[in-house]
Amino acid sequence: MKSWLFFSSSFAFFVFINIPSASSFDGYTSCSNKFNCGEITNVGFPFWGYGRPEGCGYPELNLTCSENVTTIGINGVQYRVLKINQEAEETLTLVRDDYYDKICSPKFGDTKLNSNFDYVSGSVDVKLLYDCTSSSQGGFSCPKGETYGDVAAVLAALPVPPMCKSKVIRIQDATGLGLFSFENVTELEQAVREGFEVKYKVDSAKCDECVGTKGVCGYDWGLSETVCYCPNRSSESRNCSATAEAINNPVLPSAKGTSSEPKQIC
């Protein structure tokens, strides 16, 4: 009876330590999912969020989805994502979310990118001036009920006149010369809604190597580097070639006490 109890308790302990944790991160399965929200579809690495957990992309490239609208936060400001080009260009088309519907009630600070993004040529910084005491700024009257009574748009390099409140935003510049003119607030709002392009920085070569060996790309937040999740649920630093070789050509251990050399018969 004692021996049976010892065997049972030993067996129970064995089972306990060999059950895998249900909370373990399955990068291959999780990061195979794509981000889909409204018109932004089939988005993978280096982005994460909304079905793609942490570890599937760069920390700064967190996409959120609400009412079929995709947004991303940069330097504390929310931007509406109009387009994502994951091909050779690796660009985003963005517009300040608080300026998307109207520009006379801004909520956030200036439009500034962090080190993970670069502006693409074809856009320019514009300074919006609010409630200036001088009418010489060529401003427009804002609709009634808005935060500010009037707004003017000038090049960001120009100084802010006395008594003006200002915000810097980014808009497309079709001429490439920093020249623009608007007839009214509606035209200015339309120019803002068209957004501007930025290029995000990513180690695409390392990811291409991973995908080329049937892996799925992810990102190690602790090491700050791209990782490759493999079909056998392992995580590799670059690709799944070594993992595939081990699976297809396993090294079988020789039996204890045997030798590959032929035996001599005496």
- Enumerate the β-bridge partners of residue 96: 79
**Rounded Cα–Cα distance for residues 197 and 95 (Å):** 9
Full domain range(s) for residue 84:
59-200
Q: Which residue, among 70, 79, 126, has the nearest Cα to 100 in the 3D structure?
A: 79
pLDDT(186) > 50: yes
* 68 part of a folded domain: yes
Model pTM? 0.75
pLDDT(73) > 80: yes
**Rounded Cα–Cα distance for residues 252 and 53 (Å):** 37
Domain count, the chain: 1
- Can you give the pLDDT at residue 244? 52
* 226 part of a folded domain: no
Task: Decide: 193 and 100 in contact? Cβ < 8 Å.
Answer: yes
* 232 part of a folded domain: no
| Positive or negative: CA dihedral 228, 231, 235, 238 | negative
Over residues 45-49, mean pLDDT: 95
- What is the pLDDT of the chain when averaged over all its residues? 79
* 266 part of a folded domain: no
* 38 part of a folded domain: no
Torsion of CA 158, 159, 163, 166, to 10 degrees: 60
pLDDT band with cut points at 50, 70 and 90 for residue 156: confident
* 207 part of a folded domain: no
* 122 part of a folded domain: yes
* 230 part of a folded domain: no
